[in-house]
Amino acid sequence: NAGVTQTPKFQVLKTGQSMTLQCAQDMNHNSMYWYRQDPGMGLRLIYYSASEGTTDKGEVPNGYNVSRLNKREFSLRLESAAPSQTSVYFCASRGMSSYNEQFFGPGTRLTVL
């Protein structure tokens, strides 16, 4: 049982490049989340998926797109990376039996030059 996994762990992009961050969970959870973490800002929600086939914008969705490929996988895409998107990105999932507890992945550290 790996929990929530994220790839890659580290990534460096140039301004304007695109990339997809991958997230998968093996806990049979319905809900999945993408957050970004910046110093002094806590965790800010980018996108949320309550179940397979549904997505919802969070606090900071601009510049990002998501895909809930199936129940296990939730990807985050940066179409044209900007330096302001330099951050640590966390994926999380939540199941019906865990009383609103979110389980986080190890994070992806992204630098945009």
Binding site for other proteins (CB under 8 A): 4, 31, 33, 40-45, 48, 50, 58, 90, 92, 94, 99-107
Q: How far is the CB of 105 from other proteins (least distance, A)?
A: 5
- What minimum distance in Å lies between the beta carbon of 16 and other proteins? 29
Which CB, 17 or 71, lies closer to other proteins? 71
Of 86 and 102, CB closest to other proteins:
102
Q: How far is CA 76 from the centre of its chain?
A: 6
d(Cα 76, Cα 38) in Å, to the nearest integer?
17
17 or 75, CB closer to other proteins? 75
Beta strands in the chain (DSSP E): 4-7, 10-13, 19-25, 31-38, 42-49, 56-57, 64-68, 74-78, 87-94, 103-104, 108-112
